[in-house]
Structure 1
Amino acid sequence: KGLLRSTSVWIYVGAKVSRCLGDCCIGRVMPGSDAVLTEALCAITGRSESEEERGAGEGEGDGKQQGPGPAPPPPPSRSWHRLSLEEAFFLLHCLHCLHLYDFHHRKRLSTQECWAKFIDLQPQFLKTYVSYQHFRSQGYIVRSGIYYGCTHVLYEHHPSQAHADNCVLAILQQGRSKASSRPSTVVEESGGLPFEDLQSLVRVAVNVKKELILLYVFCPDGSTGTATATGDGVMSEGKDRDGKEGMGAEDHEALDVHNVNILPLIEVDEIKVTRWLPGSKPYG
Structure 2
Amino acid sequence: MADTPNIVSATSNQHDATPASVELTTSTPSQVKEVKEVKTNSHRPPTPKKVPLHQIYALPAPIRTFPLPSFYPNNPISLFHAVYAWVSQLVSPPPVEPSVIYQGIWSPETRSVHITDLKSVRALWEQGFFGKGNYSRSEPNWFRREQARRGEHGGSVAENVTTQRREERKLMKWDRARKEQEAIERTRLLEAWVAPVGPMELLALPNSLDDLKPMFFNTPVTADSVQGFVANGTNSVNAITTTDAPALNGTTSPSSNGIVKAATGVSSTEDGTTPPSEMNGHPPRPRTPTNTSKRRKSVRFSPTIESTTFKLSDPPSPHHSVQSNGSIDSTLANGISSKPQPTELGLPESLESTTNSKANSRTSSELDGQLVDKEHLQLCLEEAFYLVFALGALTILDPATSKPIPSSDLFTLCRQTSYIPPRQADLQPDDPFLMHYAAYHHFRSLGWVTRPGIKFGVDWMLYNKGPVFSHAEFAVIVLPAYTDPWWKAQGRQPPHRSWHWLHTINRVQATALKTLVLAYVDIPPPFEEGLGATDILKRYKVREFIVKRWLSNRNRD
TM over 0.5: yes
Deviates further, 189-198 or 261-270? 189-198
Q: Deviations over 1:87-135 (max 9, x none)?
A: 1000000001112222234343221211111111113222221121111
What is the rounded CA distance, in whole Å, between the counterparts of 2:501 and 2:441 in structure 1? 25
AA aligned opposite 2:388? L
Aligned-partner SS, 1:135: helix
Q: Structure 1: which 5+ residue stretches go unaligned?
A: 35-73, 223-252
The 3 A distance-change label for structure 1 pair 77 and 149 is closer
Higher strand share: 1
What RMSD in Å do the two structures reach over aligned CA positions?
Answer: 3.4
Which one of the candidate residues 362, 386, 409 is aligned to 1:90?
Answer: 386
AA aligned opposite 1:183? K
Which one of the candidate residues 99, 103, 118 is aligned to 2:395?
Answer: 99
* Aligned pairs for 1:1-284 within 5 A: 1-6=103-108, 7-15=111-119, 17-23=120-126, 24-30=128-134, 80-123=376-419, 124-174=432-482, 176-177=483-484, 182-183=487-488, 190-221=494-525, 253-254=527-528, 260=533, 261-276=535-550
Q: Deviations over 1:32-79 (max 9, x none)?
A: 899xxxxxxxxxxxxxxxxxxxxxxxxxxxxxxxxxxxxxxx997996
Aligned-partner SS, 1:99: strand
Contact 1:91 1:97 in 2 (8 A): yes
Contact 1:171 1:215 in 2 (8 A): yes
The structural deviation recorded for 1:149 is 1.0
Bigger radius of gyration among the two: 2
Contact 1:172 1:217 in 2 (8 A): yes
Aligned-partner SS, 2:385: helix
The 3 A distance-change label for structure 1 pair 132 and 189 is farther
The 3 A distance-change label for structure 1 pair 259 and 195 is farther
The 3 A distance-change label for structure 1 pair 96 and 189 is farther
Q: Deviations over 1:186-240 (max 9, x none)?
A: xx88344322211111111111111000000112226xxxxxxxxxxxxxxxxxx
Contact 2:115 2:121 in 1 (8 A): no
The 3 A distance-change label for structure 1 pair 107 and 22 is closer
What is the rounded CA distance, in whole Å, between the counterparts of 1:105 and 1:117 in structure 2? 16
Q: Deviations over 1:149-199 (max 9, x none)?
A: 11011111221221110100000224x34xx584378xx883443222111
The percentage of counterpart residues that share the same residue type is 26
Contact 2:131 2:383 in 1 (8 A): yes
Higher helix share: 2
Between the two proteins, the alignment pairs up a number of residues equal to: 207
AA aligned opposite 2:122? R
What is the rounded CA distance, in whole Å, between the counterparts of 1:283 and 1:195 in structure 2? 22
Contact 1:13 1:79 in 2 (8 A): no
- Higher RCO (C-alpha under 8 Å, 6+ residues apart): 1
Q: Which residue of 1 aligns with 2:336?
A: none
TM-score, normalising length from structure 1? 0.63
TM-score, normalising length from structure 2? 0.33
Aligned-partner SS, 1:202: helix
Q: Structure 2: which 5+ residue stretches go unaligned?
A: 1-102, 135-141, 144-324, 327-369, 420-431
